[in-house]
Structure 1
Amino acid sequence: MNKATINGIQQVGIGVKDANEAWKWYRRIFKMDVPIFQDSAEAALMTRYTAGKVEKRHAILAMNMQGGGGFEIWQFTSRTPTGPQKAIAWGDLGILAVKIRCKDIQETYAFMQSEGVELLGTPTKNPIGVSHFYLKDPYGNIFEIEENQSWFSKNSDLTGGVSGVVIGVTDVEKSIPLYKSHYQHSEILFQDTKVWDDFAPLVGDEESFSRVILRSPGERTGAFGKLLCQTTVELVAVKDSKRAKIYEGRLWGDLGFIHVCFDVCGMKNLRTNLQNSGFPFTVDSNNGFDMGKAAGHFAYIEDPDGTLVEMVETHKIPIMEKWGWYLDLKKRKQGKTLPNFIVKMLSLNRVKA
């Protein structure tokens, strides 16, 4: 297999009606307050998933500097985005929840209560003994808050960035190789099938689910690997009934979790590896994209159930845009992490809640 490295979950795309309004809420509740870019343009390369039409959009990539992946908050500006035709059921096919790291589960839960967040149940433990709870944002998206030991830096904020995703699949055995090998969440922490007590706030009746928790290596790679931290991918499959595709009949960019994006070094090698395993790139910027002041190479594949997975190899990123300071990552050795002080400079762009 040709060498490529996955440096972490860079971001999760979230389709919303009003990006600025949503970002304000995510800043207040999750401290996603450092913008990497804010850009308005046409999504010309995504017509495969926008019914053959070039749609205009506004996007904000925001990070939490304590560590973890970010949110790519996405708003169509040329059309009104649509939601699912019926309420999403736990176990439907697609991204079911985004995991957010926290330091203390009880303190974080109390904060969410005080802020009037819609909480789903109370803190409990998952099958590997991690304390967690679920909540819904104002737009109906489910987030899983979990205690976590992987951080880039620490301040007084209760939460960090994205620590993983929960993905609904039809068959965990068919999905494990993609996320375990190609996306390098190589450690299987847990695998079993049963009725799960901690899923009780998410399902109406007792129902059996297959459940797999995969974790990335502890060693960080790539320019921003230390910031992205260690992450997990949790695969969930319904045992006794079929589930619908979350984005069936809708467009990429419509309301909800539209993709999970992995940070990559060695995109061309990754393309070959995925192609040889039956996962061809369905969208490929061919070594060039420009999101305002950030640039690089992005691509998409579909997982075995059609869930969109994005990959980004970043070439240029603004550290201090107002001073004209941009970092050219193409000149760096593949896989080498940036010094912490340079990464921390991004916090100078912080936007208060």
Structure 2
Amino acid sequence: MTEKLIYGIQQIGIGVENADETFKWYAKTLGADALIFDDSNEATYMAKYMGDKARKKRALLALNMQGGGGYEIWQYTNRKPSKPKNEFRIGDLGIHFPVIKTKNILATFNRLKGANENILSEIVVDPDDKKSFYLKDPFDNILKVKEFSSFYADKKNDFGGVFSAVIGVSNIDESLDLYAKVLGYDTVIYDKTNFFEDLTSLNNGNKKFRRILLAHSKKRTGGFANLFGESQIELIQAIENAPNKIFENRFWGDLGYIHLCFDIKNIQQLSKECSAIKVPFQVISGESFDMGDANGHWGYIEDFDGTLIEFIETNKVPLIKKLGININLRNRNPKKPLPNWMIKAMNLKRVKNFK
């Protein structure tokens, strides 16, 4: 197979101090209660981003089975992760926050407000006329909640998973070579330079920015594409101030949003396309990786501003470890979506009781 396929946003990585407490909050509050893996293998391939040495870590992948990407909750187990050097400002270089979908934004807002969660704004209207609001988790990470109609399953919870990410860049036109041409976000929903009322509740949000919201014109198909669903990317560029780099002089895995991850097929072809636009893979796994009981191939690039983008080509996802029952993707038609019964079987990995 010579064609690369991008199935969707698989997850956003979050560096934390306590993986158990973080998973509990994301599971109970955001509905991301399917624990796909819980891995404590030593991180070796990413040594160049961790002070040039392997590090002990724990990583959990939490999914909301109503659809959308999940959260890779990542914790160092042999060092204390560092905080950002500077207070986060809109327009800084790196991942600002994930965008989480809701089918009923007013119900979501009222429920979180009633639970005394740290809501940062009232419901606002984005430049695409969709409603949203900002939330901060108990670990100082900002999340954006936005109305969106594409859901895999229709359950009682109004939340889905991650369907977009907001990324600060220094030059939107240059960044489009990666996000639009290679990653397939080739449809412009808006491209505006202005002052934006929907940002004013956030630090630096009263400045002028250029913002471009991108979607994909081609329907994602194959593998877990139906579960991950439609997705978008928003790039934001500071106009009035010089941005800071969010992860400057810090390690991958330190506190905050450490990477954005896409589920893909044919990592070798993707590597060629990334090299052609001068964003070559910085790290690429061997023939196969093991992440807990899941395995496949993976690699990382840096976008033009150094933001880490991960790509995972999944071979196997375990369903019932004791019985050896797995979802095996290696020999399947890569353009054929997994059957619904197989995806729904992942509900067996949902955690229902919390200590």
Partner of 2:270: 270
- Structure 1 residue ranges (4+ consecutive) displaced by more than 6 angstroms after TM superposition: none
Deviations 1:210-265 (A, max 9, x none): 00001124623231000000111000010121111100010000000000001111
Paired residues of 2:177 and 2:277 also in contact (CA < 8 A): no
Structure 2 counterparts to residues 55-70 of structure 1, below 5 A: 55-70=55-70
Secondary structure of the equivalent of 1:163? Answer: strand
Cα distance in structure 1, aligned partners of 2:182 and 2:99: 21
Paired residues of 1:287 and 1:298 also in contact (CA < 8 A): no
Partner of 2:158: 158
Structure 2 counterparts to residues 207-246 of structure 1, below 5 A: 207-217=207-217, 219-246=219-246
* Structure 1 alignment gaps of length 5 or more: none
Partner of 1:86: 86
Cα distance in structure 1, aligned partners of 2:320 and 2:223: 17
Question: How many equivalent pairs are there?
Answer: 352
- 1:36 aligned partner, one-letter code: I
Q: Are 1:75 and 2:79 matched, yes or no? A: no
Paired residues of 1:113 and 1:119 also in contact (CA < 8 A): yes
TM-score by length of structure 2 reads: 0.97
Cα distance in structure 2, aligned partners of 1:203 and 1:86: 12
Partner of 2:305: 305
Paired residues of 2:93 and 2:170 also in contact (CA < 8 A): yes
Paired residues of 1:183 and 1:262 also in contact (CA < 8 A): no
Partner of 2:107: 107
Cα distance in structure 1, aligned partners of 2:204 and 2:293: 46
Q: Percent identity?
A: 39
Paired residues of 2:196 and 2:205 also in contact (CA < 8 A): no
**CA shift for structure 1 position 45:** 0.4
Deviations 1:300-331 (A, max 9, x none): 00000000000000011112223210122111
Secondary structure of the equivalent of 2:100? Answer: strand
Deviations 1:8-28 (A, max 9, x none): 000000000000000001111
Cα distance in structure 1, aligned partners of 2:23 and 2:217: 30
**CA shift for structure 1 position 273:** 0.9
Shift in alpha-carbon separation, 1:351–1:217, aligned structure 2, 3 A = farther
Cα distance in structure 1, aligned partners of 2:155 and 2:119: 24
Cα distance in structure 1, aligned partners of 2:205 and 2:39: 43
Deviations 1:26-67 (A, max 9, x none): 111101000110010110100110010110100000100000
- 2:49 aligned partner, one-letter code: Y
- 1:229 aligned partner, one-letter code: G
Cα distance in structure 1, aligned partners of 2:111 and 2:55: 38
TM-score by length of structure 1 reads: 0.97
Secondary structure of the equivalent of 1:61? Answer: strand
- 1:118 aligned partner, one-letter code: N
- 1:323 aligned partner, one-letter code: L
Partner of 1:340: 340
Structure 2 counterparts to residues 249-260 of structure 1, below 5 A: 249-260=249-260
Deviations 1:76-124 (A, max 9, x none): 0011101112211111100001100001111000011012111111111
Structure 2 counterparts to residues 3-82 of structure 1, below 5 A: 3-82=3-82
Cα distance in structure 2, aligned partners of 1:94 and 1:269: 25
Cα distance in structure 2, aligned partners of 1:256 and 1:328: 32
- 2:4 aligned partner, one-letter code: A
